[in-house]
Amino acid sequence: MKAVYLDNNATTRVDDEVVQAMLPYFTEQFGNPSSMHSFGNQVGLALKKARQSIQKLIGAEHDSEIIFTSCGTESDTTAILSAIRAQPERKTIITTTVEHPAVLGLCDHLASEGYTVHKLKVDKCGRLNLDEYASLLSDDVVIVSVMWANNETGTFFPVEQMALMADEAGVMFHTDAVQAVGKIALDLQHSSIHMLSLSGHKLHAPKGIGVLYLRRGTRFRPLLRGGHQERGRRAGTENTASIVGLGVAAERALQFMAHENTHVRRLRDKLEAAVLAAVPYAFVTGDPGNRLPNTSNIAFEYIEGEAILLLLNKVGIAASSGSACTSGSLEPSHVMRAMDIPYTAAHGTVRFSLSRYTTDAEIDHVIREVPGIVAKLRKLSPYWSGNGPAAENDQGFAPVYA
């Protein structure tokens, strides 16, 4: 069996049509779009077309609201630092405990420089308390940054409602929609969202290209200055081939939008139901009724995620884990911690993220392999004894912690 790739929330395979569309921009269409001559002119037109494709995908009102960046992290950083520089009198940031490190890392850094950062807590299903949010909105809030869909669990936040609340309070609202764009239909022109980040490589475009959506009229301060590119809002020569690729990827994502929400969702549900039926002491993390159609995050209690991934990899299955050991840090995933998942389960979370390339045969393969792998590792685990947790069999394991 060919390798089964179920780590599409980490990155995706570049669509063949995207690659084909990009190739001429490395060779005959190598011009700088800023140039006056014909070499550059064609490229400039291609960028315009790509911009319109992305405008359509996210339902923006104007194509000039699309700013090309190098990645999702740059888009997030540009949005937050822009809000801060444009409103120096405001000193409070609202975000959530489960954001991507691109946002959390920057917010923690800003906290060390004197900003007050409120991280909204989530409940055991990864849901926010909007009353808490409403009570924090004030004239001192410089920006609210809340992700559209969580990268680990796929859980949606009600960003459109939160943006509306922020807008009514006169507060800028940014959303990191890196996981949502291309998987669910968006309609930004009818929302109150001021800024939105997206990343090409999560929707079958190449790595190294991202977009910041900037609603017309939103006060803005560029991160990179010194060039007229992107109307002076992001200086630096355009990554033309990748922009063209992202444009095609946006068109393809619209074509596959129904497929993603029917076929892919069915495969995800099939995988999840079969694994949960076959493996005891396993549960889905996040909010199963309100999440991305392609993501399933399952906690396998009493075993550790990296060990699961290594054994899955051996049988040709690629997934990812929220365990501490896969990240190189000592802490399990901050998302699992925020949802108050116990250590022995948080370390054993495995994220399966599907794509439009995922097939029934692949899912069947995973369904066959997972129960044996979990059983093998549980046999090694001191928390496990026979057919259940050691604690229930009266041989509780309570190690001395260093």
Partner 1 sequence: MWDYSEKVKEHFYNPRNAGAVDSSNATGDVGSLSCGDALRLTLKVDVKTDIILDAGFQTFGCGSAIASSSALTEMVKGLTLDEALKISNQDIADYLDGLPPEKMHCSVMGREALRAAVADFRGEAPEADHEEGALVCKCFAVDEVMVRDTIRANGLSSVEDVTNYTKAGGGCSSCHEGIERILVEELAARGEAFVAAPTRARVGKKAQLVVLEMPVAEVAGTEPSAAPMAAAPVKLGTLQRIRRIEAVLDAIRPNLQRDHGDVELLDVDGKNVYVKLSGACTGCQLASMTLGGIQQRLMEELGEFIKVVPLNSAEQLKAMEV
Shortest distance, position 51 Cβ to partner 1, whole Å = 36
Helices 38-58, 240-259: axis angle to 10 degrees equals: 30
Q: Restricting to residues 367-386, name those near partner 1 by CB under 8 A.
A: 379-383
User: Is residue 71 annotated as a catalytic residue, yes or no?
Assistant: no
- Per-residue mark of binding to partner 1, 91-130 (x: CB under 8 A): ---------------------x------------------
320 binds partner 1 (CB under 8 A): no
Q: What stretch of H or E contains 367?
A: helix 360-380
Residues in the chain: 402
- Choosing from 71, 107, 125, 325, the catalytic residue is 325
401 binds partner 1 (CB under 8 A): yes
Nearer to partner 1, 125 or 315 (CB): 315
Contacts of 329 (CB under 8 A, 6+ apart): none
Among 314, 340, 359, 372, binds partner 1 (CB under 8 A): 314
Among 44, 306, 371, 391, binds partner 1 (CB under 8 A): 306
Shortest distance, position 98 Cβ to partner 1, whole Å = 19
- Only segment of 80-88, 91-99, 169-177, 299-307 that touches partner 1 (CB under 8 A): 299-307
Q: Restricting to residues 321-340, name those near partner 1 by CB under 8 A.
A: 323-326, 328-332
- For residues 351 and 366, the answer to whether their CB atoms sit within 8 Å is no
Among 39, 115, 283, 397, binds partner 1 (CB under 8 A): 397
Contacts of 127 (CB under 8 A, 6+ apart): 155, 287, 290
Half-sphere exposure at residue 118, Cβ-oriented, CA atoms within 13 angstroms: 18
Helix (H, G, I), strand (E, B) or coil at 31: coil
Shortest distance, position 330 Cβ to partner 1, whole Å = 4
402 binds partner 1 (CB under 8 A): yes
**Cα dist. 253→57, 214, 272, 279, 355 in Å?**
8, 21, 24, 34, 11
Shortest distance, position 179 Cβ to partner 1, whole Å = 22
Q: What are phi and psi of 348, to 5 degrees?
A: -105, 25
**Cα dist. 368→37, 298, 374 in Å?**
59, 16, 12
394 binds partner 1 (CB under 8 A): no
**Sheet with 116-120, side-by-side order of all strands:** 66-69, 210-214, 195-199, 173-176, 141-145, 92-96, 116-120
Q: Which residues bind partner 1 (CB under 8 A)?
A: 112, 302-307, 310-311, 313-314, 323-326, 328-332, 343-344, 346-347, 379-383, 397-402
Indicate which residues carry an active-site annotation: 325
